[in-house]
Structure 1
Amino acid sequence: MRHLIRHTTRYHYTDPVSYSIQVLRLTPRQDEHQRVLRWNIEAPGLLEEQVDAYGNVTHTLTLTQPHEAIELKVTGQIEVAPLDDGAVPGEDSRLPVQAYCVPTQLTACDDSIRAFAQATLPGGLRGPDDALALAEAIERRVAYEPGITDVRTAASQVLALGHGVCQDHAHLFLACARALGRPARYVSGYLHTDATHMASHAWADLWWPEQGWVSVDVTNRQYASERHCRLAVARDYESASPVRGVRTGGGAETMLVDVLVQQ
Structure 2
Amino acid sequence: MKLMINHQTHYHYSEPASRSIQYIRMSPQSNQHQYVHSWDVSIPGVNASSKDAFDNVWMTSTQVENYQQLLIMAQGVVEINPDNLFGIASQVPPSIFLQMTETTLCNAEMLNFAQKYVPNVSLEHLKKLAQAVLHVMPYLSESTSVTHSAIQSFNDRQGVCQDHSHVFIAMCKALGVPARYVSGYLYVTDMIHLASHAWAEIWLDGHWHCFDVSNQLFKPSAHIYVAVGRDYWDVAPVRGVRTRGGIETMHSIVQVLPC
Residue in 2 that maps onto 1:131: 126
In the alignment, which residue of structure 2 is the partner of 1:199?
195
Contact map agreement 2:182 2:228 (CA 8 A) in 1: yes
> Where in structure 1 are there 5+ consecutive unaligned residues?
none
Indicate which of 222, 228, 249 corresponds to 2:223: 228
Per the TM alignment, residue 196 of structure 1 is displaced from its structure 2 partner at its CA by 5.1
Instruction: Name the structure 2 match of 1:16.
Output: 16
For 2:87, the equivalent position in structure 1 comes to 88
Matched residue type, 1:207: W
CA deviations 1:4-35 (Å, max 9, x no partner) are: 00000011000111211111111113322111
Q: Deviations over 1:25-56 (max 9, x none)?
A: 11113322111001111111232111111011
Tell me if the contact between 2:33 and 2:84 (Cα under 8 Å) persists in the aligned partners: no
Which residue of structure 2 lines up, in the alignment, with residue 110 of structure 1? 107
How much has 1:84 moved relative to structure 2?
Answer: 4.2
Question: Does the Cα contact within 8 Å between 1:29 and 1:55 map onto a contact in 2?
Answer: no
Contact 2:87 2:220 in 1 (8 A): no
Please identify runs of 4+ aligned residues in structure 1 that moved more than 6 A: none
Q: Deviations over 1:175-228 (max 9, x none)?
A: 0100100000000000002335321110011001x3321121111112132310
**Number of matched residues?**
257
Q: 1:83 to 1:132 in 2, by over 3 A?
A: farther
* Preserved CA contact (<8 Å) 1:132 1:222: no
Aligned-partner Cα distance in 2 for 1:73–1:84 = 29
Contact in 2 for aligned 1:112/1:156 (Cα 8 Å): no
Identity %: 38
**Match of residue 190 from structure 1:** 185
1:190/1:228 contact within 8 Å kept: yes
Q: TM-score of the superposition, structure 2-length normalised? A: 0.95
Answer yes or no: is the 8 Å Cα contact 2:20–2:243 preserved in 1.
yes
1:152-191 Cα deviation digits (max 9, x unpaired): 1111111111110000000001001001000000000000
- Matches of 1:82 and 1:46 in 2, distance apart? 37
CA distance in 1 between counterparts of 2:120 and 2:145 reads 30
